[in-house]
Amino acid sequence: MSARSYLSSALSSSLRPRCQSGRKVNCDLRISSSFGPNQPAIFISWKSIPTRNYASPANEKRSVRASSQPVQKSDPTTSTTTTTTTTPSSTSEVNAPLSTLPVKLDVPAPAASDATPIDQFKRYIALGRAYYSFYKTGLKNVYHNYKASIPLRRSLGLPTYLPTSYPPATQTSSSQDDKTPSFFSAARGLGFTRADIQLVRRAAYDVRRMIPFTLILLICGETTPFIVLALGNAVTPATCRVPRQVEKEREAKLKRKNAAIAAHQAAVQGSMAPVAVGSKEELAILVDQYADVGFANTASAEEVLRACAVFGLAKTHTRPSALVPVVYRPRLRRWVQYLELDDRLIKQGGGVKAMSADEVRIAVEERGGVGAGGDGRNDWKAEMEERKWLEKWFERRRVD
């Protein structure tokens, strides 16, 4: 083999790794032969070397970021772990984004009966970490939900950074027209759906509880679940409520509702017979009286308190009557306006059949139907009962 051939072979071998790595160099390599003054120089152009178009690390990172951006009206996905936030978007017109609901709480399995004290201690540590991660994820969702609701709040004329809910408070009194302001026409004119309005309402509700709950989480750390169960929903965002807390609050709502309905029956009909949960008699009281704006404007103070207890707007129906004109009557009036708006948005979005199981339960409980699906059941039978109850509500409500 001649020296020139040997040099050419060596250069080709040294340049092959560069070609395979995908690097592109826009210059020519000039190597002069030293075998003699009359020998021609060797010219190797890197442009002529075939290369493959590999994505650089910078391009790869850029493409990942672009693909991870939320797409308008895309399906939100909730991770089964408690360390991933959800995108506050929904393809459904009637179902709120999944980020407004609590994520799944993954707790360690119970310790065996023969577990050592060290193993039990480790499980408690893992349990505390699971709750802490659950709460942290819930707070992240609160932040992202409110951030996503800011453009909607501006369109609705609500304060951007003052977490008020929609519909806003009105100055309607008993001497004025009983008709509710057409919040539905305003929302429909803007092209808003129930999913949009629910995002605005739930984000504002959670933000009002975010600061005190965050302080509790920072101070108490892994013991936060015990503090939260004692304080209840007053300081806990909806995205941070564990299943036991939700069930405990549902039981309390059912007791308050039964007591208020019993007081109504005794005062109006003089009957002490209890009204069955989910019955036609109970539905008639809820739809024809408590959910009517005229009732909210003209009912007695005692009846207003009973209606507030049924809808979860008061802890008990035995509050002082002096608070009704300044607190509970405006609160009931605003709630009735919200129910009218929500009813129309549900019908516009496809009705009860288009709603998810979680949204059906929330809608039933907001209308005073807590307990319609049974005592603490979460199976498909409970869902069917709640759907039937909500269908009956719309049949009696006669939403336009």
Percent of the chain scoring above 70 in pLDDT: 74
148-199 pLDDT tens trace: 999 999 999 999 888 988 888 765 544 344 455 578 888 888 899 999 999 9
**Cα–Cα distance between 349 and 161 in angstroms, integer?**
29
224-244 pLDDT tens trace: 888 888 888 889 999 999 999
Beta strands 42-45 and 28-31, pairing class: antiparallel
Amino acid, res. 244: R
pLDDT at position 385 is 94
Angle formed at CA 67 by CA 64 and CA 68, multiple of 5 degrees? 85
Q: What is the mean pLDDT of residues 129-139?
A: 92
In this structure, which long-range contacts are made by residues 167-171, counting pairs with CB atoms below 8 Å and at least 24 apart in sequence?
Answer: 167/334, 167/337, 167/338, 167/341, 169/330, 169/334, 170/333, 170/334, 170/337
Neighbours of 79 (CB within 10 A): 12
Residues in CB range of 229: below 8 A, 6 or more apart: 244, 245, 248
pLDDT at position 181 is 57
Q: Nearest 5°: phi and psi at 293? A: -70, -30
Q: pLDDT band at 398, cuts 50/70/90?
A: confident
Percent of the chain scoring above 90 in pLDDT: 51
Q: Is the pLDDT assigned to residue 215 strictly greater than 80?
A: yes
Q: Nearest 5°: phi and psi at 31? A: -125, 120
DSSP state of 22: T
Which of 87 and 381 is assigned the larger pLDDT?
381
Q: Are 260 and 317 in contact (CB under 8 A)?
A: yes
Angle formed at CA 201 by CA 198 and CA 203, multiple of 5 degrees? 100
Q: What is the mean pLDDT of residues 110-129?
A: 87
**Cα–Cα distance between 22 and 51 in angstroms, integer?**
6
Query: Longest C-alpha distance within the chain, in Å?
Result: 125
Cα-trace Rg, the chain: 32
Q: Nearest 5°: phi and psi at 227? A: -70, -40
Q: What is the mean pLDDT of residues 238-254?
A: 93
70-108 pLDDT tens trace: 333 334 333 344 445 555 666 789 999 999 999 999 888
Amino acid, res. 253: K
Which of 61 and 305 is assigned the larger pLDDT?
305
- What is the sign of the dihedral through the CA atoms of 240, 246, 249 and 254? positive
- Kindly list the domain boundaries of the chain, sorted by start residue: 1-68, 80-241, 243-400
pLDDT at position 58 is 36
Q: pLDDT band at 270, cuts 50/70/90?
A: confident
172 is written with which tokens? Answer: 């309607």
Q: What is the dihedral of CA 53, 59, 60, 66, to 10 degrees?
A: -130
> Following DSSP, what letter does each residue of 157-224 receive, concatenated?
T--SSS---SSPP----TTS--SPP-HHHHHHHTT--HHHHHHHHHHHHHHHHHHHHHHHHHHHGGGH
Q: Nearest 5°: phi and psi at 42? A: -100, 125
Q: Is the pLDDT assigned to residue 306 strictly greater than 80?
A: yes
Residues in CB range of 241: below 8 A, 6 or more apart: 102, 233, 249
pLDDT at position 269 is 83
pLDDT at position 262 is 94
Run of H or E residues at 42 = strand 42-45
pLDDT at position 120 is 87
Cis preceding linkage at 151, omega within 30 = no
Q: pLDDT band at 255, cuts 50/70/90?
A: very high
- What region does 173 belong to: left with phi over 0, alpha with psi -120 to 50, or beta? beta
Q: What's the whole-model pTM score? A: 0.74
**Cα–Cα distance between 357 and 254 in angstroms, integer?**
19
Numbers of helices and strands, H then E, in the chain:
13, 2
pLDDT at position 7 is 43
Q: Nearest 5°: phi and psi at 205? A: -60, -45
| From 117-121, 132-136, 377-381, the region with the lowest mean pLDDT | 377-381
168 is written with which tokens? Answer: 């806003």
Cross-strand partners of 44: 29
Q: Give the chain's mean pLDDT.
A: 79
Closest CA to 84 of 143, 133, 149, 131: 133
Give Cα 246 distance to the centre of its chain: 15
